[in-house]
């Protein structure tokens, strides 16, 4: 089994998001390891606005195995870029 670190998982998650959703993520918000699984949260641009603080973003959760293969993903929430979490 390949032991990936958070930096490698970040890269793999970005590639997987592009493949799964046909868009590049705006940002990776969180990476957590739980046993042999990685949990990654990513922001995806849904709608561009002017000014950009009103852009609408989707926040997805991706679960990857220890080799960086996506096991599942789901939409967690929508938010405006300017919103505070």
The list of the chain residues with pLDDT below 50 reads 1
- pLDDT reported for residue 22: 92
The burial of 29, by beta-carbon neighbours within 10 Å (0-12 exposed, 13-18 middle, 19 or more buried), is given as middle
- pLDDT reported for residue 58: 95
Domain boundary assignment for the chain: 6-80
Alpha carbon 74 to its chain centroid, in Å, reads: 10
- pLDDT reported for residue 37: 93
Residues 14-32 pLDDT 10s: 998 898 889 999 999 999 9
User: Spelled out in words, what is the top-level CATH class assigned to the domain 6-80?
Assistant: alpha beta
As a whole number of angstroms, the distance between CA 63 and CA 58 comes to 16
**In terms of DSSP bridges, do strands 70-80 and 27-34 run parallel, antiparallel, or are they unpaired?**
unpaired
The token pair that represents 61 in the structure block: 């959760």
- pLDDT reported for residue 6: 92
- pLDDT reported for residue 46: 94
């Amino acid at each position: 089994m390949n032991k990936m670190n958070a930096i490698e998982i970040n890269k793999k998650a970005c590639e997987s998001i592009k493949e799964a959703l046909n868009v590049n993520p705006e940002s990776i918000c969180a990476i957590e390891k739980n046993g042999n699984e990685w949990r990654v949260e990513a922001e995806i641009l849904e709608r561009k606005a002017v000014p950009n603080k009103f852009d609408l973003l989707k926040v997805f959760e991706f679960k990857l195995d220890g080799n960086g293969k996506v096991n599942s993903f789901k939409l967690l929430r929508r938010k405006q870029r300017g919103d505070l979490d």
